[in-house]
Amino acid sequence: MKEPLRFGILGTGGISAGHARDILNRDDATLVAIADVSTDAMEGFVARVIPLGSPHPAQFTSLEAMVAGSHLDAVVIATPHTQHAPQIEIALNAGLHVLCEKPLATTAADARRVLDLAEKKSRTLAIGYQRHGQSQFRLARHLVHSGTLGDLRLITVLIAQDCLENFRPGASWRADPALSGGGHFIDTGSHIVDMMLWVSGLEPERVYAEIDQFGTDVDVITAASIKFTNGARATFAATSLSAEPWREELTFYGTEGVMRLGRADGLSYQVKGGDLVFPRAASARDVRPLEDFIAAIHGEVPGPQAPAVCGLRVAQVTEAAYRSAVSGRPEPVG
Ligand SMILES: NC(=O)c1ccc[n+]([C@@H]2O[C@H](COP(=O)([O-])OP(=O)(O)OC[C@H]3O[C@@H](n4cnc5c(N)ncnc54)[C@H](O)[C@@H]3O)[C@@H](O)[C@H]2O)c1
């Protein structure tokens, strides 16, 4: 039996609880420390997440203090977006493996730098893109890559949420571009850009985007058009002003078939002349980011299911979209 991996969690807000429970539920991992600029956030985390009678993790008010004060093997980073890259660098330079929440970084240059540093330090750097471990998305990628749809020519993507309140000035760090790096497109949109790229395997070449801030300081509606290097196109629509809580739809049109993925309707596809098929994954078990991260650290899988390169590619598309919204022209990716 290996020594349990010693984990720290940086940022003890909303998303941290799921990662913490995944650590606490394992015999081969232990949560030894947490860090947050807010002591209230850490107290709230302990009350929500640590079972009664269990030892409490040590608390620190910075990553540097947590690294110096605990003998960590790995850290989960769940802080505002523009802090991710500098915090990943501190953690990697301290010899830690890193599971970072999305987006990996808010610029392509930052994403490239942390990717290169992880390679140089031979540490695992994974992203909390949970869809990579979900059977529906894995099967969708397999269907594309096995040629079932022929050559992809068009992808249509929609992410619609009722979350404008998050982006109203003063509401939270999400409303402040200095901390968030942008609005809805870099936030939930990050997942969907990632799935468009990961499922399709296509290389984006240029992006044209129009953005509406709707009285906020960040993007809350985005309409984008993407051209890929093979000549295929995508349309990408994102809104945080929907009356529905969440709608997520990706449709992949190939020369031989069409495949739909939706939060409500699941996965279906149809090839020319065939019936509509609702395929079932061989293994329906989803692999959560933390479980996969530990397997990657131990070398039990070739690499993390959502590796840093996915974060780099998303950052390149996001940056090009934001540049295009300012320039009014299509902008090259990369
Ligand atoms: N994978 C997903 O589906 C998913 C869902 C929600 C959020 N997220 C991501 O998780 C991250 C955190 O989002 P959240 O919703 O938990 O936000 P949150 O506001 O609930 O929590 C963020 C925490 O970080 C703390 N913090 C801020 N600056 C810090 C610093 N320098 N050092 C340490 N702590 C600091 C804040 O005090 C707060 O407690 C973001 O990157 C977000 O995009 C991912």
Model pLDDT for residues 15-55, shown as the tens digit of each residue = 999 999 999 999 999 999 999 999 999 999 999 999 999 99
pTM of the model: 0.97
Superfamily of domain 5-130: NAD(P)-binding Rossmann-like Domain (3.40.50.720)
Phi, psi of 43 (to 5 degrees): -65, -40
- For the chain, the residue count is 334
Q: Whose C-alpha lies nearest to ligand 1, atom 21?
A: 13
pLDDT computed for residue 283 by the predictor: 65
d(CA 310, CA 315): 9
In which order are the strands placed within the sheet that holds 221-228? 266-271, 257-262, 241-254, 152-162, 233-239, 221-228, 204-212, 331-332
pLDDT computed for residue 1 by the predictor: 62
**Matching residue, tokens 């893109």:** 129
**Number of Cβ atoms within 10 Å of the Cβ of 25:** 11
Q: pLDDT over 70 for what percent of the chain?
A: 99
Where does the chain hold its CATH 3.30.360.10 domain(s)?
131-283+308-332
d(CA 16, CA 33): 13
| Amino acid letter, residue 147 | G
- Mean pLDDT in the chain? 97
Is residue 265 very low, low, confident or very high in pLDDT (cuts 50, 70, 90)? confident
On the CB side of 162, how many CA atoms lie within 13 Å of its CA? Answer: 5
On the CB side of 306, how many CA atoms lie within 13 Å of its CA? Answer: 30
Q: Whose C-alpha lies nearest to ligand 1, atom 5?
A: 15
pLDDT computed for residue 2 by the predictor: 74
Q: Give SS3 for 58.
A: strand
299 lines ligand 1 (CB under 6 A): no
Ligand 1: distance of its center to the CA of 277 in Å? 39
Q: Whose C-alpha lies nearest to ligand 1, atom 4?
A: 15
83 lines ligand 1 (CB under 6 A): yes
149 lines ligand 1 (CB under 6 A): no
d(CA 73, CA 58): 15
CA angle 36/79/76 to nearest 5° reads 85
pLDDT computed for residue 285 by the predictor: 85
Alpha carbon 176 to chain centroid, angstroms:
19
13 lines ligand 1 (CB under 6 A): yes
Phi, psi of 75 (to 5 degrees): -135, 145
pLDDT at 309 > cutoff 80? yes
The answer to whether the Cα torsion of 189, 176, 331, 127 is positive or negative is negative
Ligand 1: distance of its center to the CA of 10 in Å? 9
pLDDT computed for residue 156 by the predictor: 98
Is residue 212 very low, low, confident or very high in pLDDT (cuts 50, 70, 90)? very high
pLDDT in tens, 227-261: 999 999 999 999 999 999 999 999 999 999 999 99
pLDDT at 280 > cutoff 90? no
pLDDT computed for residue 27 by the predictor: 96
Nearest to 99 by CA among 129, 130, 128, 66: 128
pLDDT in tens, 108-149: 999 999 999 999 999 999 999 999 999 999 999 999 999 999
In which order are the strands placed within the sheet that holds 74-77? 58-60, 29-35, 5-10, 74-77, 97-100, 125-127
- Provide the β-strand partners of residue 7: 31, 74
pLDDT at 290 > cutoff 80? yes
Strands 58-60 and 74-77 turn out to be: unpaired
Where does the chain hold its CATH 3.40.50.720 domain(s)?
5-130
The closest-lying atom of ligand 1 relative to the alpha carbon of residue 289 is 1
194 lines ligand 1 (CB under 6 A): no
10 lines ligand 1 (CB under 6 A): yes
Say whether domain 131-283+308-332 belongs to CATH 3.30.360.10: yes
